[in-house]
Amino acid sequence: MKPFLTLLLLLSLISSNAQDKWPTQAWTKTSPEKLNLNADSLVALDRDFAAGKYGNVDGMLIIRHGQIAYEASYSHNYAELYKQEAIEKSGLNATDPTGPYNYFSAWWHPFYHGSKLHTLQSVSKTITSMIIGVAVTRKDFPDLDTPVLSFFDTTAVKNIDARKRRMTIRHLLTMTAGFDWHEDLPYSDPNNSCSNMEASFDWVKFTIDFPMSDEPGKEFNYNSGATELLAYIFRVATGSDIEEYAVKHLFEPLGINNHFWKRAPYGLVDSEGGVYLEKSDLAKLFYLFLKNGKWEGQQIISTDWVQTVGFSLHQIWPQPWLRLQVVAELLWQQTRRSYLGRQWFRGPIPDRNP
C-alpha cells in the first residue's frame, strides 16, 4: 500500500437485521432519520470532509440495514496536488513515468482514467482473500496447508532452505511467511521490498527468491509480495485467472458490473494493490460478509471462512450511534499490536487521519 495516496472513504454502518434489503441491482436510499441516525451529525461530518479537515477525502457512504442513509463525493484536482511529487523522482514514480505504477499520475490515481472507479490499493488484498474464500467454498482451491514450493520448479527458486520448504498457503494468507521482507520503510526508500518488487518484471520470482529470516508462522511481517504469490498459486492450482474467476463467482452474483484490475508487467493480476471499484460496489463485498457469506440465498463464501477472517466489529467500533472506519486505510497501517487474518486487517484501529 502506498500510504501517501488519498483513498476512497467508505463509511459503512455495521448493522443488519431481518429487514435488510439485497442491493444486487442497486442500493436503495432513504433518510438518516428513518434508520435512526443523527442526520445533523452526518451533515457536520460531510462539511468537515468537504472543507478538507481530514485531508483529500474522495467519498463518503453511510449504509445501514441494507440502505444508503447518506452519500457524498468530493472533487479534487489531483494533477495539481501531485505536481510536486511527480517532479521529484522516487520509488513511487521513477520506473513507470506514464503508467499505472506512477503513483503520482492523476490518470491512474486515485481514480481510473477519470471514471468513478477508485483505487483500493491494499484493500485489493482483502478482495484477493475473498476470491480465495469463494474458491475454497467451491472446492476449487487446494488445502491451505499445502507447501508453497509445491507450485514452483524448485530448481529455479533461490535461497531455498528448510524454512522456505515449510512455508504454506496459510502463511501467505496471514503474512507470516518468514521472508526477510522490508515493507515497513517509506515506499520512496530504495530499500523498500515492495517498491523494488514493483520495479521488477516478474513479481512472483522476485518474491519467491527472497531469503528467509524467520520460521513461517512465527512472526507477522506485512508483505505485498506474499499476496502476489497467492495470485500465482491460484492460477496454477485452479487453471483460472483470479480476475476471471472473481467476475464469474463473486462480482456477477453481487451485481458488480464495473471494475478495473491492474496487471503486473508479466501479465499476472496485481493482487496486492490493483483493484478499482466504485464505493457502492466495495460496500457490497463487505455486506456479503455481514451476511455470513450468503447472498440472496446463495452461499458465496462459507461461513467458516467468514468467521475465520472476521473480527468483532462491535469491539472495534464501540460508538453507539455510528460504527465506521476508513476501509481503504485499514490494510496499510500496521503496528506491533495489529495483524492480518487471511489478508484482512485485524486488531486495533490505527490512530491516523484518512
In this predicted model, what pLDDT tens digit does every residue of 92-122 receive, in sequence order? 877 788 889 999 999 999 999 999 999 999 9
In this predicted model, what pLDDT tens digit does every residue of 5-21 receive, in sequence order? 454 455 554 455 545 67
315-343: b (≥16 Cβ within 10 Å) or e? ebbeeeebbbbbbbbbbbbbeeebbbbbb
Lowest mean pLDDT among 23-37, 67-81, 332-346: 332-346
Phi-psi region of 292 (alpha: psi -120 to 50; beta: other; left: phi over 0): left
More confident residue, 353 or 53: 53
Q: Where do the domains of the chain lie?
A: 141-238
What's the pLDDT score for residue 256?
A: 98
* pTM of the predicted structure, to 2 decimals: 0.86
Of 170, 165, 67, 60, the C-alpha closest to 118 is: 60
Rg (CA), the chain: 20
Tell me what the pLDDT averaged over the chain comes to: 84
CATH 1.20.58.710 at 141-238, yes or no: yes
Residue with the three cell numbers 512455508: 167
Helix (H) or strand (E) holding 190: none
Cis peptide before 32 (omega within 30 of 0): no
Residue 214 in grid coordinates: 524467520
From residue 354, alpha-carbon distances to 46, 53, 54, 97, 325 in Å are 14, 10, 6, 26, 9
Lowest mean pLDDT among 228-237, 297-306, 321-330: 321-330
